[in-house]
Structure 1
C-alpha cells in the first residue's frame, strides 16, 4: 500500500486574481521549503442541548481555520516570492545580473494560493486566501539559516491533480549565517553574535461573516509591528547608552554571496533598556531588544528589504 513520503512532497505557491480566487490561468512556483504545516481545522463544539438521554447530543461544527507555518531556507531567489507575499511587487532595477529588487510595505498585501502536494499518492491540498501573518528570522551561529513564515488563509480544497500543470521549479541557492554582516547606526559592527527580526503584519483573523460558509471571507491588514533583538559582546557602553537614553539608531542586517545579497534595513529603531548582569565567570553579553518604526526617514518605510540576484522580475 502506497504511503505519502515527505521527501517527495512539494509546496507550490501562486498569486491570486482576487482574495480567495485561483486565477483562470494560474502560474505556480515550486518553492524550496524545509517544512510546510498549513492546515485546515474545524473544531467540534460540545452541544448543551437536553435530549432526555445521558448520551451526548451531536456536536456543533465551528468555523474553519486555515493556518500554519512554513519553514523556508533563506535563499537568493525563492525568498523573493515570500517577500512579494509580504510587501507586494518590488521596484526592480538593473539591466543585467545582479538585478535589484526593493520591497517595502504598502497599504495592502497580496493573497496567495498555496498547495501542499503529495505526488506519490496523487493528493494535493489547495489553500486559497492565504496571507503572511508573521515573519521571523534569526541570524547567527552555524545552524541552517531559515525563515519562519506564519500563514493565515480562507479555505481548503483536496484534489487529485495540481492546480497548475507545470509549476516553475525554484532552484535552491542558499545564504548562510557566515555570510551575514550588520551595521548599527550606519557603521559596521563586529561584536554582534546574534540578531533577530520579527515582523507581524496585523492581519485580522476574525474575518468570518454570515453566509460565508464558515470560511474567512477577508483578511484585512492592520498596522505592522517590527521588532527583534541583538546580542553583542559587552566591550563598552556605547550600545547600552543608546538604550538608556532612548537614542534613535538604525540597523542593517545583510547576507552577501558574491554579487548577490539580501539586506533588511531598519532606518529607525530604538532599543529597550536591558542592562547586562553577571551570569558567571565567562565573557559578558548584552542583549538589547529593539522596535522599528517610521518617523521621517528618507527610505520611506520602517523596513526596506533589498534583494540582489539574477532574477529579472517578481512582477
Structure 2
C-alpha cells in the first residue's frame, strides 16, 4: 500500500468567477513549501442523562476550513497571491510588465486550491478561498518565503484530481541577498531583520446552512504592520517615535534579470521602544511599526511587481 509523501504533493490554484464555485479548468501548478490548509469538524459530546455512565454518540459540529500555505517569493507565481490579497492590479508596459497592487479594495477575488497526494490517491479541493493575511520576514540569509493565511468555504475530498491540465510558471525566486530597505527614499543602515504583514481581517459569514459551510468572508479594516530590529547607532528612528511623526518605508527585491518586487508604505508610525542592554554585545532596538492611509486618502500600501507576465 502506498504511503503519502510531501515530496510528491501537488497544489493547483485558480481564481473563481463565482464565490464557492470551483472552476473546471484554468488551474496553475503552484510552488509551495508547506500547507496546513484543511477542514476540521469537531464532535460535540452528548449531555443527555438517564442512559448509564457510558455516553451516547456525539454530534457533529460546524466545519471550519482554513490554514496557512508557505510559498516562495518569486517573480511570477507570487503575483497570484498578491492579487488574492490586494485585488486585481493595474498593469502597464509591455514585457516587462508593471503590475501595481493597492490596499483598500472592498471586494477581494476568491479562488480555489486543490492539494493532491497522488500515491494514495487523495485530493482535496478548497473552494471559496480568500486571503486573510500575507506576511514574510527579511533577514541576512536563508530562504525567502511568505506565509499566506487563508479562509476557505469548505473542503471536498476525492480520489482523483478535478483540476485538469495544469499551467506552469517559470520559477524565479527572490532571495534575501536581493533585498533592500529604504526610509524616505534613503537606504537604512544597521537593520538586522524586518517583518512585513498585510491583513484583511476577514469577517466570516457564519449563516445556518445544511452543509455547515460559511456563506463568505468579508474584508474589514485592513492592517499593514511589521517590525524592524535595528542596531542602535543613531537616534533618527527613536526621535521619530518620540515625536509621533510618520515616515515612508520601502521594502524591495530586484533580480539581475530585471524582475523586481517593491512594497511601498508611505505613512509608517513607530512606537517608542524599550532600549535594553543585555550584555557586552551590541545594543539592538525593535520597532513594531504600523501604517495608515495617506492624508489625501490614497492607499496605505502599494506593491509593484515587474516581470514578464502579461496579466493576472
TM class by smaller structure: over 0.9
TM-score by length of 2: 0.96
Q: Distance in 1 between matches of 2:285 and 2:184?
A: 17
How many residues are treated as equivalent by the alignment? 310
Deviations 1:236-289 (A, max 9, x none): 111100011111111100011121111111111100110322111111122111
CA shift at 1:212, angstroms?
4.5
What residue number does 1:306 align with?
304
Residue in 2 that maps onto 1:122: 121
CA distance in 2, matches of 1:212, 1:154: 13
Provide the rounded CA distance (Å) in 2 between the counterparts of 1:232 and 1:42.
Answer: 44
Provide the residue aligned with 1:224 in structure 2. 222
Partners of 1:134 and 1:44 lie apart in 2 by 28
Q: Is the 8 A contact 1:65 1:215 kept in 2?
A: yes
Query: Which residue is 2:6 aligned to?
Result: 6
Return 5+ residue gaps in structure 2 as ranges.
Answer: none
State the SS of the aligned residue for 1:168: coil
Q: Is the 8 A contact 2:114 2:163 kept in 1?
A: no
Q: Which residue of 1 aligns with 2:178?
A: 179
Shift of 1:235: 1.0
Q: Is the 8 A contact 2:25 2:165 kept in 1?
A: no
Corresponding residue of 2:74: 75
Match of 1:215 in 2: 213
Shift of 1:99: 1.1
How many Å separate the matches in 2 of 1:45 and 1:121? Answer: 30
Task: Provide, for residues 83-117 of structure 1, a one-character-per-residue CA deviation record: whole Å limited to 9, x for no partner.
Answer: 01111211111112x21110112111111111101
Say which is worse superposed, 124-133 or 52-61, in terms of deviation.
52-61
Q: 1:278 to 1:124 in 2, by over 3 A?
A: same
- Match of 1:204, SS state, is strand
Conservation of the 8 A alpha-carbon contact between 1:183 and 1:189: yes
Shift of 1:295: 3.0
Distance in 2, matches of 1:150 and 1:51, equals: 45
Q: Deviations over 1:111-147 (max 9, x none)?
A: 1111101123332100111111111110012111110
Distance 2:174 2:254 in 1: 8
**Cα contact 2:246–2:268 (8 A) shared by 1:** yes
Cα distance in 1 for partners of 2:294, 2:153 equals: 34
| 1:142-192, Cα deviation, whole Å (9 max, x unpaired) | 111110111111111112222221111223211110110011122222221
After TM superposition, the structure 1 stretch with the greater mean CA deviation from structure 2, 147-156 or 288-297, is 288-297
Q: Give distance in 2, aligned partners of 1:51 and 1:22.
A: 47
Instruction: State how far apart, in whole Å, the 2-side matches of 1:219 and 1:212 are.
Output: 18
Identify unmatched segments of 5+ residues in structure 1: none
Cα separation, 1, equivalents of 2:92 and 2:210: 42
Q: Alpha carbons of 1:179 and 1:168: their partners in 2 closer, same or farther (altered >3 Å)?
A: same
Alignment pair present for 1:62 and 2:61: yes
- After the TM superposition, which segments of 4 or more aligned residues of structure 1 sit over 6 Å from their partners? none
**Aligned runs of 1:11-90 on 2, under 5 Å?**
11-23=11-23, 25-90=24-89
Q: Is the 8 A contact 2:25 2:164 kept in 1?
A: no
TM-score (norm 1): 0.95
Preserved CA contact (<8 Å) 1:267 1:297: no
Displacement of 1:32: 0.5
Separation of aligned partners in 1, 2:200 and 2:227: 18
Contact 2:231 2:284 in 1 (8 A): yes
